[in-house]
Chain A
Amino acid sequence: MKNLISITDLDVKEIEELIILADKIMKNPVAYSQKCQGKKLATLFFEPSTRTRLSFEAAMYELGGNVIGFSESNSSSAAKGESVADTVKVISYYADIIAMRHPKEGAPLVGAMSASVPIINAGDGGHNHPTQTLTDLFTIYREKGGFDNLTIGLCGDLKFGRTVHSLILALARYKNVKFILISPWELTIPDYIKHEVLKKYNIEYVETSDLVSVMNALDILYMTRVQRERFFNEADYIRLKDSYVLTPNKLENAKKDLSILHPLPRVNEISVEIDRDSRACYFKQAQNGKYIRMALILKLLEVE
């Protein structure tokens, strides 16, 4: 493992190793608190994402390392002239590892092609965000103890939701995984995911627009935001938005051990009353994100 650009860069075994390491760190953080002493992480955020950046920075600090970097407040200033390749080449002399976010798809790959240190893709436009997927996988692992035989409901914007696409790609490799895809028809999963992943690997899946009717089948419910700007007209948005807001009454038939995930930030798609429900995992998920990033940094730096 030299870089992490797409979740598909990692095979099942590498993902398992990361998860096991993250779990160990979580149980005994002190043992890892000096592992990256004298090392620097550069966070190159060509577009802002405070949440992701802080998660990386916290991860590096908790490993005893240091952080340098920048965060551009608007993407146009990233286009001052220097190419991604040049920027990354230069930063390679200043840091031991780079976490890079960029509004353009594929920019971290371009970075990886010219960097002399490991590159982590911290999100490239609407394309990949592999540390989010690792966070999701780690959370599922912690809640369910593994990935086989799970029925996973993905709800909301399945068309543009990259976290959903990557999660399907990652989970498709496990045994007897079923997907229930819940979305308005305007936002159903793209055909290429159906053809090149679900059908190709013979994975059982159901598409529906009704969350309540499938609730009792779910082991995992992964909620995403349905954004206003994805709809052609306001009326459709207003008509549909409440169907994809999780409220306590919609959970009536849900399993007792359901796990509710959300990549955060949430706007209103999960009502705050659910935060008190023991099945809500989204805040734990954010915490898990830090530990899986710690594990990733250790692996890429070959410290562990």
Chain B
Amino acid sequence: MIITPIKDGIVLDHIKAGNAMEIYNILNLGELECSVAIIKNADSVKMGKKDVLKIDKMIDIDLNILAFIDAGITVNIIKDGKLLKRRHLELPEIVKNVLKCKNPRCITSTEQELQHIFKLTDKENRIYRCIYCETKAKINKKR
């Protein structure tokens, strides 16, 4: 498959196969007017299969959210057709309003105005807990 290389933009590489659509949705890439390529199940030496997202525009991406979903992603910044910067992600300490707490006994279930905030409580096992009720966030995208 051939995809035109982008000139100025961002390539999200090493996305765990199957995660690309979720990231596309969470980052609201559908709202962009530039071209966005979703490459699914590309061959990867490191990972077997991987997904890649190519965004043909320099946009602001919330790296915390990205890291939270899939910390293995590499972010490549492309300028004038060349790789300007490559960034690896780090797990954020706090994640705001990305996930909703699923605990029906949590105060966030009755008070709609509250921000849904999760805190990294166990880095090694990537465990995030709701700051209000301490319920574990369900992230199934482990790598």
Question: How far is B135's CA from A124's CA once the two chains are assembled, in angstroms?
Answer: 14
Partner of A106, one of B106, B113, B121, B122: B106
Which single residue of chain A is at the shortest CB-CB distance from B136? Answer: A192
Q: A83-B111, A84-B111 are in contact. Are A109 and B106 (CB under 8 A)?
A: no
Q: A125-B105, A126-B105 are in contact. Are A106 and B132 (CB under 8 A)?
A: yes
Interface residue? B109 (CB, 8 A): yes
CB-based contact A110/B110 at 8 Å: no
CB-based contact A104/B106 at 8 Å: yes
Q: A125-B105, A126-B105 are in contact. Are A106 and B130 (CB under 8 A)?
A: yes
Interface string of B95-114 (1 = CB under 8 A from A): 00000000101111111011
CB-based contact A104/B114 at 8 Å: no
CB-based contact B111/A109 at 8 Å: no
Question: How far is B134's CA from A105's CA once the two chains are assembled, in angstroms?
Answer: 9
Contacts of B105 in A (CB 8 A): 103-105, 125-127
Q: A79-B110, A125-B105, A126-B105 are in contact. Are A110 and B122 (CB under 8 A)?
A: no
CB-based contact B110/A105 at 8 Å: no
Report the count of interface residues on A (CB-CB < 8 A).
Answer: 18
Report the count of interface residues on B (CB-CB < 8 A).
Answer: 18
Interface of B is mostly: loop
Contacts of A106 in B (CB 8 A): 106-108, 130-133
In chain A, positions 86-119 with a C-beta closer than 8 Å to chain B are 102-107, 109-110
Question: How far is B108's CA from A36's CA once the two chains are assembled, in angstroms?
Answer: 35
Question: How far is B108's CA from A142's CA once the two chains are assembled, in angstroms?
Answer: 39
Contacts of A126 in B (CB 8 A): 105
Partner of A105, one of B103, B114, B121, B122: B103
Which single residue of chain A is at the shortest CB-CB distance from B135? Answer: A105
Contacts of B114 in A (CB 8 A): 110
In the assembled complex, 28 residue pairs joining A and B whose CB atoms fall closer than 8 Å, in A order, are: A83-B111, A83-B113, A84-B107, A84-B111, A85-B113, A102-B107, A103-B105, A104-B105, A104-B107, A104-B109, A105-B103, A105-B105, A105-B132, A105-B133, A105-B134, A106-B107, A106-B108, A106-B132, A107-B107, A107-B132, A109-B107, A109-B132, A110-B107, A110-B114, A125-B133, A127-B133, A127-B134, A196-B122
Q: Which residues of A contact B (CB under 8 A)?
A: 79, 83-85, 102-107, 109-110, 124-127, 192, 196
